[in-house]
Structure 1
Amino acid sequence: MAQNMAQHFTFAKLLRFTLPSVGMMVFMSLYVMIDGFFVSNWCGATALAAVNFAYPIPAILGSLGFMLGTGGNAIVANTLGAGDRKLANERFSMLVFAALFGGIAFAILGTATLRPLLVALGASGQMLEDGIVYGSILVMSVPFTILQYLFQELMMTAGKPDMAFGVTVVAGVANIVLDAVLIVGAGLGVAGAAIGTMAGEAAGALIPLVYFMRKNTSNLRLVRTRFDWRTLGRACWNGSSEMVSNIASSVVAMVYNIQLLAYLGEPGVAAYGVIMYAGFLFAAVFLGYCTGCAPLMSYHLGARNGEEMASLFRKSLLIVGVAGVGMFALTRVLVTPLATLFVGYDAGLLELTVHAALLYSFALLVMGFNVYGSSLFTAVGNGHVSALISFVRTFICEIGAVLLVPLVLGADGIWLSILVAEAVALVLTAAMTCYLKPFRLDGARKKRK
């Protein structure tokens, strides 16, 4: 049965509701890490650098799924909270069709632009060829990527967080098994890694699609619908912050790679790849919590329950803060064993990776608050503030920091630039949250029963 979003959420209930979403995101990060593990250990550092050089391009194209998922999810959850289930299903269905058509168009675009973009970014020789092989397969998988991201968000509103986690586990296991078979067994190299990723994304997209096409016990179902361009535009605008954040993360990765090639060469790019795998894992905790919590905010906004929204807000700040401190401490313990798994075959690269990861980890103390702040404004339909936070945090702060801080601190400045960017962005996030008070409903509060 679908979980009841109308209830009051204690800490225990809130964690129970959001943990499947956290697990889903963490598991996704784990199988991305497994990709890197197989590529690094069976294909070498150049192949690892190529994968990390190419990956941002399909990631940018796939960010359409984040936009439709987060922006549309807020609208669908709000509509359910207002009691109109028929309209919620129609809007849900429209988002699915928009994701499918958009994914096909973006796959065509990615196929046409992959090689010129990699050359423009500075890839050459074997790294370029490996990057083209890996990227070509992943851009063909973009429709699956977009649908997978969309369903990850909407299964929360459907009241099926456990199903969302289960689908992710199936997708991840498929990816991991195929990595082992195709890279180690068949010797397909980076092509095997890309095929494994494509298979996992296909499972993550098609299993929910079939589920929602049939009669089910969730809050949502695919139905006959029409394109309501105004609502679709609202979804895109409201979710633009998450799309901007995802695109910017990929652009930042490109800028990092360019800077690292200039300061440290291919070893720097390979070390950054390992750090990003671990970074995805820790960021997934914040993203997973926000993905799980956002539909609750949207639902209670639709129900005009300001007291519950304020309660969720206070609890979320504490959860995010504790999680940040915990992950920072965990990094200090696990950094050497994790780095050894990926690049233990090269002592110099191992030392560089551990040093860089320790500097990078300070950003975990701040990052979660910015992720939650952007997600909060999206959840309450304040897309322009969410977009502002994401744009300033990523395009201005992160790109600016990775270009400027190394001028003062040298190569170490590249690893510390994320901390500088997150700290500056936190000032804006805190100011917007305090000034706009997104959990208030014009001062009116509905008492909990």
Structure 2
Amino acid sequence: MKNTINLGEGNVKNIFIRYAIPAILGMVAMTSAQIIDGIFVGRFVGPNALAAISLAMPILMVLFGIGMMMGVGGATLANIKRGEEKIEQSNNYYSVTISLIATISLIATLICIFFSKNIASILGADKTTHADVVTYISILGLFLFPYLINTSLDMFLRNDGFPNFPIICIASGSILNIILDYILIAKLEWGIAGAALATGLAQLLPMLAMVIFIIKKSTWKFVKPIFKFNDIKYMVFNGSSEMFSNISVGISGFLFNLIIMKEIGTAGITAYTISIYATTISIAIFYGVANAIAPGVSFNIGKGDIVRVFSFRNMGVITNILIGVILCLILFFLGDKLAYLFVGEDEVIRELAVRITRFAAASLTIAGVNIVASMYYTSINQPLVSVIIAISRSLIMLVLGLFILPNIMGQDGIWASYIFAELTTLLIVLYYFKKRPY
């Protein structure tokens, strides 16, 4: 086995940069397409349709989280086995991962198609958004397999020493998404159905490209999968932080939607959605950095080189701190211009969106460290710690702040929950860095 990049030797900083740049570009390309989706929907379909996408997100995040669990868990354990030079076991983890994601995707697609109306009602959609939520869920549900498999294939390729090719694939899919947005939403006026279809179809291109590349170039070999209960258990356990993180985001988003709908109404949901879009690229960059350290950490923990493991971890933490401060300042001063892209001259929604975005921007100074820490503990095969960190920032502390702070700060307490969640989670991260460093 000969990797393009040798994760066990060479300068850690150079390896990190070679992984970080394509990882960040890939995440930014993917999230940029989502943001442009929102701009097209907000400008050409309307604020209610934009709110409908926000209402639909929780169930999609839950389904995506289950697929992420298998993809991240399988890819991490497969790479650890490579570091231990157990190639047969490594390829079996790869094969089992692909097979399980295919099964999960089929089940999730059937749920989205046949239960979309029930799901929309549970998610809190009212008469102005219900039909759009149903349409968005049922159409996007058709493309869950490429959605989930792309994340997994991206990780396997990076673990195989190919950090650049996945970014080419993801970027091509994002460009296609934007082109389809223009055709289906702006020109053909297919509304929210066009947005869902554009997003789904755009996932097919990177999937096909990565599958062909793995077959022809990669050292990963798909073998007849041997399903062992203990192997699957370890995959599920190892990837559980990513699952709980996505599910937590879905649950907290659901609670935010309910509270905002009750206290402010659809306009509040729209403003909240804009703030999410405004911070999406920031969070994507943090995850890009976290993903960049994962191959080096998991390979060297399998090899037993703890010094290199710490070097990769610290590189990720320092990088995200610097990025977080810069992004906070950008969002704080350019929030109004970003809101204008979505709703134009609607001053009521714009002003609320700017206020929410500034609270979220402040939380970014801390969020990057927590995201790296969660991925770090997944990569060293300590998923329980990773789960604690992930669900703390995305659910437990967020919900705790959501129920406490509004009583103290009024409506601003809803948005201040972001800062409260990241700050309290950082204390947990510092505790584990000291007590359980590897």
Give the equivalent residue in structure 1 for 2:78. 76
Structure 2 residue identity aligned to 1:362: A
TM-score by structure 1 length? 0.93
Correspondent of 1:61 among 53, 60, 63: 63
2:398 paired with 1:406:
no
Aligned length: 436
Measured on the aligned residues, the alpha-carbon RMSD in Å equals: 1.5
Give the equivalent residue in structure 1 for 2:433. 433
Give the equivalent residue in structure 1 for 2:51. 49
Q: Deviations over 1:323-376 (max 9, x none)?
A: 111111221233222111111231221111112211221100111111111111
2:235 paired with 1:240:
no
Q: Give, in angstroms, the shift of residue 172 of structure 1.
A: 0.7
Correspondent of 1:11 among 13, 16, 20: 13
Asked if the contact 2:50–2:273 (Cα under 8 Å) also holds between the matched residues in 1, the reply is: yes
Give the equivalent residue in structure 1 for 2:212. 210
Q: Deviations over 1:134-170 (max 9, x none)?
A: 1111122222221122122222102111111011011
Distance 2:4 2:66 in 1: 27
Structure 2 residue identity aligned to 1:215: K
Give the equivalent residue in structure 2 for 1:445. none
2:285 paired with 1:285:
yes
Q: Choose 219-228 or 33-42, whichever is displaced more.
A: 219-228
Asked if the contact 1:215–1:221 (Cα under 8 Å) also holds between the matched residues in 2, the reply is: no
- Map residues 169-184 of structure 1 onto 2, 5 A cutoff: 169-184=171-186
- Map residues 111-190 of structure 1 onto 2, 5 A cutoff: 111-190=113-192
Structure 2 residue identity aligned to 1:416: A
Structure 2 residue identity aligned to 1:192: G
2:50 paired with 1:34:
no
Distance 2:83 2:123 in 1: 46
Q: Choose 305-314 or 283-292, whichever is displaced more.
A: 305-314
Distance 1:168 1:63 in 2: 19
Asked if the contact 2:12–2:308 (Cα under 8 Å) also holds between the matched residues in 1, the reply is: no
TM-score by structure 2 length? 0.96
Give the equivalent residue in structure 1 for 2:339. 339
Asked if the contact 1:175–1:200 (Cα under 8 Å) also holds between the matched residues in 2, the reply is: yes
Distance 2:229 2:208 in 1: 25
Asked if the contact 1:57–1:114 (Cα under 8 Å) also holds between the matched residues in 2, the reply is: no
Give the equivalent residue in structure 2 for 1:351. 351
- Map residues 180-329 of structure 1 onto 2, 5 A cutoff: 180-212=182-214, 214-216=215-217, 218-329=218-329
Correspondent of 2:24 among 22, 25, 29: 22
For 2:253, what is the secondary structure of its paired residue? helix
Asked if the contact 1:78–1:302 (Cα under 8 Å) also holds between the matched residues in 2, the reply is: yes
Correspondent of 1:95 among 90, 94, 97: 97
Unaligned regions of 5+ residues in structure 1, if any? 439-449
Q: Give, in angstroms, the shift of residue 230 of structure 1.
A: 1.7
Distance 2:415 2:202 in 1: 31
Distance 1:99 1:162 in 2: 24
Distance 1:211 1:10 in 2: 27
Distance 2:109 2:30 in 1: 21
Q: Deviations over 1:404-436 (max 9, x none)?
A: 322221221111111111111111111112101
For 1:288, what is the secondary structure of its paired residue? helix
Distance 1:78 1:352 in 2: 47
Q: Deviations over 1:204-253 (max 9, x none)?
A: 333222332x231x342323332233212201111101110011111111
Asked if the contact 1:28–1:172 (Cα under 8 Å) also holds between the matched residues in 2, the reply is: yes
Distance 2:265 2:404 in 1: 19
Distance 1:418 1:219 in 2: 42
Structure 2 residue identity aligned to 1:284: A
For 1:369, what is the secondary structure of its paired residue? helix
Distance 2:32 2:388 in 1: 30
Asked if the contact 2:373–2:429 (Cα under 8 Å) also holds between the matched residues in 1, the reply is: yes
Asked if the contact 2:7–2:15 (Cα under 8 Å) also holds between the matched residues in 1, the reply is: no
Distance 2:53 2:419 in 1: 25
Asked if the contact 2:392–2:421 (Cα under 8 Å) also holds between the matched residues in 1, the reply is: no
Structure 1 segments (4+ residues) deviating >6 Å: none
Distance 1:119 1:5 in 2: 49
Q: Give, in angstroms, the shift of residue 262 of structure 1.
A: 1.6
Distance 1:166 1:120 in 2: 38
Asked if the contact 2:406–2:412 (Cα under 8 Å) also holds between the matched residues in 1, the reply is: yes
Asked if the contact 2:76–2:298 (Cα under 8 Å) also holds between the matched residues in 1, the reply is: yes
Distance 2:114 2:397 in 1: 31
For 2:164, what is the secondary structure of its paired residue? helix
